[in-house]
Structure 1
Amino acid sequence: MPYVEVRGNSIRVKWWNGDYVVDAEGRPTKRKKYDGASGPRPGVPFESEDEAYDYGLDREYEVRHGQSIRRVDAKTLMKDYCWLWLDAQDLRDTSMARYRSRLRCRIVPYWGEHAVGDITTWEYEAWKKSLTAAVARKEVSQNYVDVLLSLFGMLMTDAVAKYKLRRESPVIVQRSRGRFQKKKREVKRPMEMAVVHKLATNAYHVWGFTGWTCIWTIAFTGMRPTGELWGLRREFASPTWPASDPDAEQRDAMRERYGLGAMPALRVQYQSQYSGGVRTQVAPKYDSHRTLVLPPFLHEMHSALLASHTSPWVFPAMDGGQMGTHWSNAYWPYIRGGSPARDARRHRLRPEIQPVPEMANKRVYLLRHGHREWLEEDGHSRIAMEARMGHEVAGVEGVYANLTPRMELGIMETLQDRWDRFWGMGVWWSPPFPITLPRGVPER
């Protein structure tokens, strides 16, 4: 039973926390351990002995029913809990790096000295409001705030359900309450073949035939740029796969459906990511290993590209090595934004590359979005589209779903038809057949 202590104007209650004192050899004794409190909440004292006694009874009820939170656990500081929580996660290196950065930059500096069990909903809402104000001042993006709040929510959910550091989460989501604020979405326009052609032309001037093929590959396969592209090795490209697949079981299973005399296809087997500062090959996002059939024109383009270089990577950088983070500042800005003639020597580009206004300040990822738009315009089934994009269909529909050869053949034919209709207009420029280039020297 709990017991109450009255000292002057203060009232304190103590109760058994379910543990026993251990001896010098680590064996439990018959002496009980007690927790105590001076009020129902931090900073709020008990008003009477009866209130304190009832509070102690409630805590002992929780002990008997396995619902108690030890006071020492609840007093764990956020600056300790955050890193203990991160160490317990089993995630890919890139996800771990993102979580670590968000904890270090925003969550630990703000919440570090707070005890996990003492964080209130009022305090959380005040922090959330301060982040909203930071977005209004353009200090951070709304997307960054959303991921911060999501991470904090995970921390609190695990503190309740997994680590028993508090009874309930201070993060309360009430979707129908408060002032409605429409989420700002990226402004997109339908992806037109003419826009893709402009990008591919610029990519050729920046990067040679490799760039030309790369842009058309994203637009006509929906591969995730840039991880899946930079992780595409020669043995998984359509001119060689599946005959060159190092996995004998997979190679034998795919031969009847793809490859020589069948549908040309590439295999999304890896994506390229940095791990500990080193470029490594890991599984695609969400383990979305998949086979992508190619329209004949793209298969011919890949065959010409592989014949023009000896790199193990289908899309090597200008120096012949694997593409890395330099794509975002040495390639893509000039592909979408162009380059005046005066910058040609400094950037080793061809003179005067025209900007693509439709893609001003846009991500290359929108080419993947455009591929999905084309599949939908051509009337393909949801199963065929999601499988090609590397997504899983949830529920019973996904259990019964299957991507059939006829579905893949339909995709291949409609994509080839889109290409033929575009070039049938007869007004578009195309590059010559590639030749092997000296490393680091763009073709002239």
Structure 2
Amino acid sequence: MARRARDVYTEWRGGTCRVKWWSGDYHDDGRKRFESKGGFTDEDEAYDYGLDKMSEIRAGTNVPNRDGRTLMTDWLDDWLSAMDHAHLTEKGYRSKVEAHIRPYFKRTAVGDIDVIAYRAFRKHIYGKVGEGTAKNTMMVLGMVLDDAVPRLIKSSPVERKRKRGKYKKATRERKRDVLPQIVEQLARNAEIMFGYPGYVFVWTMATTGMRPAELYGLTREYSYPSWPASDLRLDPDEEERYEEDMERYGAGDGLMSAIRVERQVQHKDGKLQFFPPKYGSYRTLVVPPFLADMLVKVQEGHDSRWVFPAISGGCLGSVAFDTAYWRPIADGAPARKGPGVRRPRAEIPAVPTFKGKRMYLLRHAHKAWLDEDGHPRFAVESRMGHEVPGVEGTYSSVTVAMERAIMKTMQERWERLQELFEAHGSGAVSHSFPS
């Protein structure tokens, strides 16, 4: 005998019982839309299941059957189309979805991805790609599944707080102290690779902590000695800052030499374009006197809009910098000479500290230098383009005294390097100041 209550009833079909409940929706003709679940062998169990579903509907936590059966590939389409992130972030998320997540879950319904399916994918991806790629892929999958709640699944299967399985200690990239003489060797190698702009490029990264794409996209308008007078002033809401910059920075007496980080370059739709700096980290970076002199000299030596042009004269962002430039600079390369060689160059010696290492570690080295010199945490993090959370981030500011102290300690490192060369009889570096 079938059991019935308002909007819930059971019925036997063959040897199993099915329960039906009102979904809370209506058909176009006004009839109530019911959902069902079969396969029960106990009628009371089936009936209680229907009552539980009605309770979920009233509480707003129910996932309709038709939504729970949505294929993961369809949900990924919706999720990707709704993204609203910076260009590089979206590009990275889309890459992980298309390369790893979609192929694996292509024929799987979102509602079928439970904690076991999640763990299976985690084991699969860590066995297929490197740890960094696997970690980023799991992060993206976690966001995809979290955003499916409560529309497609009642709760996310993503495991975060409770860790199970074999313990694995987090690995950190091994770093070594980066002394000024190591930076100098990298700079000299870069000069062999792409001329004096290469030499200044390396020292600029080491003494400002700029990100590579910010350096690639640095134009004269935002570099000493032209900035801030040459600022494009693209934001009408920043008029007050523009005027303050004119009082604080520049090439005149009493002003501080500085670079303004307003943009970076990245590829989009096959074209190199300007984008805001990572995390919107717009910032002003004071530079020590030795670097200010280098910036003047390097811009006097070419007519490119880019402060650090590529060998071809274009933007460094348009070349495969990591492989074509940085690897020879850090790892060394044989000389290029003889008939038929288009661009002859001297042998490039390897720099052991950076052999096989990322150029980004120069940015890390700058942070270590600032910490060693005892600068305030807020001034350090602001210079690196990091946001300081909490009360410290709300109430602190970077003062003129803090900026002058940073200029002073960076200059002192350079001067100690010159003393080191002189003490060893090799003479001061020829690029100290413009002739």
Q: TM-score with structure 1 length normalisation?
A: 0.90
Q: Distance in 2 between matches of 1:346 and 1:333?
A: 20
Q: 1:244 aligns with which of 221, 230, 233?
A: 230
Q: Distance in 2 between matches of 1:157 and 1:432?
A: 55
Q: Distance in 2 between matches of 1:286 and 1:100?
A: 18
Tell me the residue number matched to 1:231.
Answer: 217
Tell me the residue number matched to 1:284.
Answer: 277
| Residues 432/398 of structure 1: CA separation in 2 closer, same or farther (3 Å cut) | closer
Counterpart of 1:89 in 2: which secondary structure?
Answer: coil
Q: TM-score with structure 2 length normalisation?
A: 0.91
1:331 aligns with 2:318: no
Contact 1:233 1:312 in 2 (8 A): yes
Deviations 1:114-150 (A, max 9, x none): 111121111111221222333xxxxx11011101111
| Residues 176/73 of structure 1: CA separation in 2 closer, same or farther (3 Å cut) | closer
Q: Distance in 1 between matches of 2:175 and 2:122?
A: 29
Counterpart of 2:147 in 1: which secondary structure?
Answer: helix
1:381 aligns with 2:376: yes
Counterpart of 2:136 in 1: which secondary structure?
Answer: helix
Contact 2:334 2:347 in 1 (8 A): yes
| Residues 433/176 of structure 1: CA separation in 2 closer, same or farther (3 Å cut) | closer
For residue 175 of structure 1, report the CA deviation from its aligned partner: 4.1
Structure 1 gap ranges (5+): 24-28, 39-44, 135-139, 436-444
For residue 342 of structure 1, report the CA deviation from its aligned partner: 4.9
Tell me the residue number matched to 1:256.
Answer: 247
Tell me the residue number matched to 1:408.
Answer: 403
How many residues were matched structurally?
Answer: 415
Moved over 3 A (4+): 174-178, 342-347, 427-435
Q: 2:175 aligns with which of 175, 188, 197?
A: 188
Counterpart of 2:227 in 1: which secondary structure?
Answer: coil
For residue 430 of structure 1, report the CA deviation from its aligned partner: 3.2
Tell me the residue number matched to 2:33.
Answer: 33
| Residues 111/176 of structure 1: CA separation in 2 closer, same or farther (3 Å cut) | closer
Tell me the residue number matched to 1:156.
Answer: 145
Counterpart code for 2:227: W
Q: Distance in 2 between matches of 1:157 and 1:349?
A: 55
For residue 253 of structure 1, report the CA deviation from its aligned partner: 2.0
Q: Distance in 2 between matches of 1:193 and 1:434?
A: 17
Structure 2 gap ranges (5+): 1-6
1:168 aligns with 2:155: yes
For residue 170 of structure 1, report the CA deviation from its aligned partner: 1.4
For residue 179 of structure 1, report the CA deviation from its aligned partner: 2.6
Contact 2:257 2:286 in 1 (8 A): yes
Tell me the residue number matched to 2:15.
Answer: 9
Q: 1:141 aligns with which of 130, 140, 157?
A: 130
Q: Distance in 2 between matches of 1:21 and 1:213?
A: 71
Tell me the residue number matched to 1:41.
Answer: none
Q: Distance in 2 between matches of 1:335 and 1:421?
A: 24
Counterpart of 2:148 in 1: which secondary structure?
Answer: helix
Contact 1:304 1:433 in 2 (8 A): no
Q: How does 1:24-423 map to 2 (within 5 A)?
A: 29=30, 31-38=31-38, 45-134=39-128, 140-161=129-150, 164-225=151-212, 227-247=213-233, 249=239, 250-259=241-250, 260-261=252-253, 262-323=255-316, 324-342=318-336, 346=341, 348-423=343-418
Higher mean displacement: 352-361 or 380-389:
352-361
Contact 1:11 1:52 in 2 (8 A): yes
Q: Distance in 2 between matches of 1:433 and 1:206?
A: 19
For residue 176 of structure 1, report the CA deviation from its aligned partner: 5.0
Deviations 1:238-286 (A, max 9, x none): 1111111121824322111111221111100101111111111111001
Share of identical aligned residues, percent?
Answer: 44
Q: Distance in 2 between matches of 1:409 and 1:417?
A: 12
Q: Distance in 2 between matches of 1:87 and 1:269?
A: 28
Tell me the residue number matched to 1:442.
Answer: none
For residue 400 of structure 1, report the CA deviation from its aligned partner: 0.8
Deviations 1:167-220 (A, max 9, x none): 011112244543321112111101111111110000011111000000000000
For residue 11 of structure 1, report the CA deviation from its aligned partner: 1.8
| Residues 429/343 of structure 1: CA separation in 2 closer, same or farther (3 Å cut) | farther
Q: Distance in 1 between matches of 2:127 and 2:427?
A: 49
Contact 1:3 1:14 in 2 (8 A): yes
For residue 341 of structure 1, report the CA deviation from its aligned partner: 2.4
Q: Distance in 1 between matches of 2:272 and 2:429?
A: 33
Counterpart of 2:34 in 1: which secondary structure?
Answer: strand
Counterpart of 1:341 in 2: which secondary structure?
Answer: coil
Counterpart of 1:110 in 2: which secondary structure?
Answer: helix
